[in-house]
Amino acid sequence: MIEDLSLHHEPVGNLFPRPASREEWERYRLSPEQVEAFRRDGFLAGVRLLTDEQVEALRRELEEVSDPKHPGHSLLYEFHSNESSDPNTILFHALGAWRLAPGLHDVLWNPAFLVPASQLLGGAVRFWHDQIFWKPPRHGGVVAWHQDYSYWTRTQPMAHLTCWIGLDDATVDNGCLHYVPGSHRWPLLPITGLAGDMNAIQSVLTEEQKAAFRPVPAELKKGYAAFHDAMTVHGSYENRTDRPRRAVVINVFRDGVRSASDRPHLVGVPPIPAGEPMGGQFFPLLFDPERLV
């Protein structure tokens, strides 16, 4: 029997030590220049969140969770051994690993993540859901251009943030993230598919947006992260190298976001009635800067 770690709204291990004082929390703060860059561009890359030891621990757990025979897969919200629309490429993608593995659970309470997330959201941080992405060597598929919030309109208002954490060095050659600077100020775009045609988004852009569509790569060393606004257009190309490109993604929103649907927000999760604040077992409060030690 696999324990459902969503019942624990605090770390279950010691991989991510909790600061013992306000001063220790403060050392994780982003600089004013970093916050300004995020507000201007809609993303911020190059924030170190994991030590090498923490990276190795999460890699081991990712290996276990990605096994189709893992006994806890009934707890996952989604599991795609290959979400690519091209059978010649592979894009492993899963949601809900925080319920299965202690490190992938506890990374949600990583102080190096929580403090910047609170700064960028402008308040207390509540969990939305996690993701794992894995592009294997030579055959890693693309993640097509999209805005995260286009998939999340069942929650309102848009006060969401995504944190992409590399478990390998992410480069242009192995499929790092690319962002369209300033696109977080665009309106919500129609969904054109997550794992298919990289050119599909062009069909829903205005001429002005097409002219501004100048993606930039966010290359990262392992253990480093990129934060982005949930309206920022982003995607990633195929892995053309002999090494994997693995990542853990943490999606959060500012405390106070409400349900906008009477249907379940994630597979297997009881619904929260429309208009009610998001919370409970599956959407825990991770961090409130007003309650620091």
Copy the structure tokens of residue 140.
């890693």
Q: What is the pLDDT of residue 195?
A: 75
Q: Distance of CA 266 to CAs 76, 77, 95, Å?
A: 10, 6, 9
Task: Evaluate if pTM is beyond 0.75.
Answer: yes
Sign of CA dihedral 247, 224, 289, 122: negative
What's the rounded Cα separation, in Å, for the pair 159 and 279?
15
Q: Tell me the average pLDDT across 149-161.
A: 97
Looking at the predicted structure, is the pLDDT value of residue 87 above 80?
no
Over the range 256-280, which residues count as b (16 or more CB within 10 Å of their CB) and which as e? ebbbbeeeebbeebeebeeeeebbe
Of 133, 135, 213, 124, the residue nearest 172 (C-alpha): 135
Q: How does DSSP classify residue 233? A: -
Residue 138 is predicted with a pLDDT of 87
Q: Kindly indicate the confidence band of residue 88, based on its pLDDT and cuts at 50, 70 and 90.
A: low
Domain spanning 22-261: CATH superfamily: q2cbj1_9rhob like domain (2.60.120.620)
pLDDT tens per residue, range 218-253: 999 999 999 999 999 999 999 999 999 999 999 999
CB 95 within 8 A of CB 129: yes
In angstroms, rounded to a whole number, what is the distance separating the alpha carbons of residues 282 and 251? 13
